[in-house]
Amino acid sequence: MVPRWLPPVLVLLSLLAGGVLEFAFGQPPAVEGLERLTPEERAVVERNLERWKRLRPDERQRVLENYRHWRSLTPEQRQSARESMQRFRALPPQEKGRILEDFQRWNELSAERREELQQAYDRFQRLPPERRERIVQRQRQFQALPPEEKERVMRNFERWQRMTPEERRALRERQRGREGREPGQGGPPPR
């Protein structure tokens, strides 16, 4: 004989089991790779789950690398990055496009070339402010030249590069002797 309380308990258990299964089937499938993330990274992904799901695996990897790099920055570096991003967002669309194109070209450079350019930039930053300003001013003047004049300047620069240190020194001395009589004539400025 079956106790009177058993059928209602079985009905209740079947309803409960059905509800649990329905809840389980209603959940989105687990996102692949979440188990490999740190708890902090997992929390960030879960806050942005829909965007994360739309990313390809290589994009997810890039996002993780960027996030880990961000976490490694000092608070001052993070603040500087935030300010740079605000300035970028405030730029006109054409300027943003130019910057993104420049960034794309930078990423396409070989690691060796990027290192060379970074070293040159670091050397430039170590120059006294007045010397940096002179260089920037000359660059602006060069950019404003007509194409044929730019070409002439570049030919002269290449010739300068091929000169020995002694030849450069002699040219500088000749230039100093002519200063004041023939404005705008002569070789590159002394280094």
Residue-wise pLDDT tens digits, 95-154: 999 999 998 998 899 999 999 999 999 999 999 999 999 999 999 999 999 999 999 999
What CA–CA distance (Å, rounded) separates 56 from 29?
17
Choose among 54, 55, 85, 58: nearest CA to 70: 85
Question: Does residue 92 lie within any of the structural domains?
Answer: no
% of residues, the chain, pLDDT over 70? 77
Question: Does residue 42 lie within any of the structural domains?
Answer: no
Higher pLDDT, 178 or 2: 178
Reported pTM: 0.46
Question: Does residue 95 lie within any of the structural domains?
Answer: no
CB 170, CB 160: distance < 8 Å: no
Task: Give the range of the structural domain holding residue 164, as residue numbers without chain letter.
Answer: 128-174
The residue type found at 86 is Q
Mean pLDDT of the chain: 81
Give the per-residue pLDDT at 59. 87
Provide DSSP, 54-92: HS-HHHHHHHHHHHHHHHHS-HHHHHHHHHHHHHHHHS-
Tell me if residue 112 falls in helix, strand or coil.
helix
| Total number of domains in the chain | 1
Cα radius of gyration (the chain): 33
Question: Does residue 8 lie within any of the structural domains?
Answer: no
Question: Does residue 165 lie within any of the structural domains?
Answer: yes
